[in-house]
Amino acid sequence: MIMKAQTPLTMTTNENYIQGNYQLLPSVGDVEIRYTSLFLNMQKSYRTDKLIFGLTYENIEYIFKDNKESYLFGSFENSHLLSLSGTYVKSLKNNWNVHLQVVPQISSTLKNTLQSNDVLVTGSIHFGKIWTSNLTTDNSKLIVGLNYDTLFGEPRLYPLISYSSYIRDDWEFTIGLPISSLNYTINSRKNINFSIRPKSSYTNHSGTISLNEQHFYVNNKLEFSSLSLGLDYYMKFNDYWTTSFGIGYLPVTSLKVLDMDNTTIYDFDSADSISINFGLKFNLNKNK
């Protein structure tokens, strides 16, 4: 199976795999952002149920090109995300299923002793429906549900709806909120994906930040949120290795420092940016 973009319709893959990614945003205003991540996915199937576990580590580097901002917010320059996800999938009647996911995570600069503000628990509940055809192996899929996570920056609850189907055997589209995509399969080893989706990060710093040496803030957050238009190319070398390369454009971005109540205390006046990303995936499945 070709590695596709991570959309709501591909979150419950049947593969056990390890995946590494690197993404560069060179010009979010006067800030450069680098993401380096490693993800492990393991799943166990039963008669009508499935358990999926994921372990993610992500390092985020913020390079502040403005000397004043570097001095004030240098504590955010190296941030870390560690999360453990657990997903339960239950098959229901008439090709319906339900997905329940819980994701405890640590999102912190780790400059100080770990505190409760560094820990966040997110999750989701999704109901899915698959329509099959006797004339083709291509299926149509509908997913509706609720997510609570940091996809838009600070944690929030939002609805999810997604419909996926095929125009032809080699063209698949997904229309929905918050993610839509169009996938073209070149052959059994290559495909191209275009997506529209939010891109964000949300990191806690348990230390103290001083603005103008008058106002002092503890447990601050660095929030980045944006809209990303991405084009990704995937190539499967063999049954084990798949690589990806992508470019993107972020027409709308926001980079802010928030206090412990998520009130903005500093706005970087960020601008649009391009993005470049690379990925490498290793399939752990024994049976191909």
What value does the mean pLDDT take over residues 8-22? 71
Q: In terms of residues, how long is the chain?
A: 288
Q: When comparing pLDDT for 263 and 9, which is higher?
A: 263
- Round to whole Å and give the CA distance between 89 and 52: 8
> What span, in angstroms and rounded, lies between the C-alpha atoms of 192 and 63?
31
CB-based contacts of 146, cutoff 8 Å, min separation 6: 124, 125, 157, 158, 159, 160
Q: What is the percent of the chain with per-residue pLDDT over 90, rounded to a whole number?
A: 76
CA distance 9 to 160: 11
At 73, give phi and psi (nearest 5°): -120, 25
Q: In total, how many domains does the chain have?
A: 1
- Report yes or no on 161 lying in a domain: yes
Q: What is the mean pLDDT of residues 154-174?
A: 94
Question: For residue 137, is pLDDT > 80?
Answer: no
Mean pLDDT of 1-21: 59
Tell me the per-residue pLDDT of 69-102, one tens digit each, with 9 for 90 and over: 999 899 999 999 999 999 999 999 999 999 999 9
For residue 40, the tally of other CB atoms under 10 A from its CB is: 15
In a domain, 2, yes or no: no
Q: Is residue 102 part of a domain?
A: yes
CATH, residue 64: 2.40.160.40
Distances (CA, A) of 212 to 68, 161, 253: 11, 45, 26
Q: How many CB atoms lie within 10 A of CB 42?
A: 14
288 lies in some domain: no
CB 204 within 8 A of CB 244: no
pLDDT higher for 19 or 46? 19
> How many Å apart are CA 287 and CA 11, to the nearest integer?
20
The answer as to whether 3 is a domain residue is: no
Assess if residue 35 is contained within a domain.
Answer: yes
- Give the CA count within 13 Å in the CB-facing half-sphere of 240: 2
Kindly indicate the confidence band of residue 9, based on its pLDDT and cuts at 50, 70 and 90. very low
| Residue 1, in any domain of the structure | no
Residue 168 included in any domain: yes
Q: What is the residue range of 182's domain?
A: 8-283
* Each residue's pLDDT tens digit, 191-229: 999 999 999 999 999 888 888 777 788 889 999 999 999
Structure tokens at 206: 């348990």
User: Over the chain, what is the mean pLDDT?
Assistant: 90
